[in-house]
Structure 1
């Protein structure tokens, strides 16, 4: 019997999201996030596969019945199952709000970065994160916080 040494899990390559209409959902993801098809749409599979910028796949899988992609945490908050890493979170946040996407309030989680939660048209919740203190200069991080949280200097 062999023993695994170190971390055997490299990355998450695919995420599966339940949707009512894969093509309609794909158009929404393309419009709001610029995602592209990873493979041509195959109606027989009843799913659309989109590609994130780092190559992971987002499967929009047609489902019937109630879509319940969330779960309550101990405090009763309906949790999301995925957090997307982004750059220029302030641009994305403004873009989604302008497009009428349901977004929750921004949170500054200190060393974990800035996050917000959005919902797709099927009611699936997703989290978005940017560790601005890691990926930006201190001056730029302060400007982003001021923009997003209306901080007056």
Structure 2
């Protein structure tokens, strides 16, 4: 069966203060502000060729969840092009005061580290771009 779904268009992230979180994503991760509603209840960002909606949620609501075997799991993983890019981003984020985990070897290709946003949401960063993405955008 071939899927007619083409891509994930938007990812929704719970945050306590969309305006403040948008500033954090723009200043630290290079997101671009696309839209902010008048009440500041939700913000649309463009980041990593994806739309993210930061939506005001109850304090303590997180996008992360726990699995039976591995514990904490992330809603998605950002990808960078290689270990050098991963190390450089890790250092840049540390210099900006962003909470980042250590660079890890998780037993698979590449290396990873974790970013934590203002609300405590954790996001994974991996040093390997997907093959399909590399082919589509002619990245070596």
TM-score by length of 1: 0.73
**3-state SS of paired residue (1:112):** coil
**Shift of residue 103, structure 1, vs aligned partner:** 1.3
**Shift of residue 19, structure 1, vs aligned partner:** 0.5
Quote the residue 1:128 is aligned against.
125
CA displacement, residues 51-85 of structure 1 (integer Å, 9 cap, x when unaligned): 0242x101110112431322112236221111112
Q: Does 1:74 align with 2:68?
A: yes
Alignment of 1:31-70 (within 5 A): 31-38=27-34, 40-44=35-39, 46-54=41-49, 56-70=50-64
Structure 1: gaps spanning 5 or more residues? 136-153
CA displacement, residues 86-110 of structure 1 (integer Å, 9 cap, x when unaligned): 2322221101111221111212346
Query: What is the aligned residue count?
Result: 128
Quote the residue 2:77 is aligned against.
83
Structure with bigger strand share is 2
Distance 1:24 1:84 in 2: 21
Structure 2: gaps spanning 5 or more residues? 135-140
**3-state SS of paired residue (1:107):** coil
Say whether the 8 Å CA contact 2:60–2:119 is kept in structure 1: no
RMSD: 2.2
The one of 96, 114, 127 equivalent to 1:117 is 114
Structure with bigger helix share is 1
